[in-house]
Amino acid sequence: MPEVGHVVVIGGGAAGCATAYYLNAAGARVTIVEREGVGSQASGWSAGGLNPLQGMPEPIAALALESHRLHLDLWPELDRLTGRALGGRIISMAHLALDEAMIPALQDVQRAFEAAEGFSAEWLGPAAFRTLEPRITADIAGAVMTRGNGVVDSYLFTATLSEAAQRLGATLAEGTVTGIQHADRRVSGVVLEDRVIACDAVVVAMGPWSQAVEAWLDVPLPIVPLKGEIVRLALGGPPLPFDIVTSDVSLFSRGDDQVWLASTHELRGFDREPSQEAYRTLYEPAVRLMPSLADATLVRQTACLRPLSPDDLPILGAVPGWEGAYVATAGGMKGILLAPGMGKALADLLLTGQTSLSVEACGPARFAAITG
């Protein structure tokens, strides 16, 4: 490994902790700087679903599958390093057609899962589906049952990545970063409110707050916060046997008896307060879909801010015009899925200048070209 000196990763979310883990696993010296606690933002409040075959912009479709495979490799290794039981697993998911007009879209879903290695799918009519989950309304047109997606506890996954990185030699520092020290556009340190951490390279993984770096490095990082809310209910009966997805709402089986209604996505600035509007947006279609949810108990409603770029692609790689400055952010609504791929690719780029992962469309230079 080339000598890269000391690397500071700013941000203790999934992308930052994955970057630190892969850097440390390769022998680098790393400090993670986190302001509010590892996994305290969107990485700690995600539903944790890992679906690489849907909702993915074409330029990162290959990266999504690569990152999904990295998850499967990571889980036992993180368990071994930390002694934790991470509990990542492969799941089944039901994609429901609420009316006949939705069937062609679900047939596309079926074909995508049948074509992908390690995934499978089966079409079920309404009666056949309700033998699997009779609590769902009879007023559906059918379902595609898929297998191959994964799920993790997103907070535990992020915290375990951080702990594994520390067991490999990383340091976790608490503090608020206020700037990046440099000489002739070469990074020399990270400035906190009360001190400077000297370093040879910095990785910005600050999620929606990464745009602050525009002033520090004089580069465009057009990231905005995408607010997402989830309603957690205690079902009071047998757990859902699989996750259920419709065009209106998703029902995620979590824990022994919880159903998570997910999720909203709104551009509301940095507002992190749960809202009654979001509750109704999720709860009302969920009860229509599964009437027994009207008797469920509200456990918690959560809100978080996901980092979103203008083209819905991650921003990943070396900052143009700088030596030792890198960015790993903007995973958007797929942040937990993409975290291993983003972390591994960034570590590769920092240590060797290249990576085998499919991140060609993700470079920060694409925004410099637009605004330059």
CATH assignment at residue 186: 3.50.50.60
Tokens of residue 345, six digits:
């690719």
Residues 98 and 197 in one domain: no
pLDDT, position 95: 98
- Residues of the chain with confidence (pLDDT) below 50: 1-2, 371-372
Which DSSP state fits 319? P
Tokens of 31: 């400090």
Q: Same domain, yes or no, for 66 and 172?
A: yes
Q: How many domains does the chain have?
A: 2
First to last CA, the chain: 35
Same-domain status, 164 and 214? yes
Selection from 212, 177, 171, 174 nearest residue 196 by Cα: 177
CATH code assigned at 116: 3.30.9.10
pLDDT recorded at residue 256: 77
Taking a C-beta distance cutoff of 8 angstroms, is the pair 148, 64 a contact?
Answer: no
The pLDDT of residue 333: 95
Please give the residue range of the domain that contains residue 187: 6-83+154-220+310-371
Cα 283 from Cα 276, distance rounded (Å): 10
Q: Note whether 189 and 253 are same-domain residues.
A: no
Same domain, 161 and 301: no
> Residue 268 falls within a domain, yes or no?
yes
- Which of 293, 308, 323 is a domain's end point? 308
Question: Which residue, of 308, 323, 355, is where some domain finishes?
Answer: 308
What stretches of the chain adopt beta strand conformation (E)? Answer: 6-10, 29-34, 49-50, 89-97, 120-124, 142-151, 171-174, 177-183, 186-192, 196-198, 201-204, 224-234, 243-245, 250-254, 258-262, 297-308, 315-318, 325-329
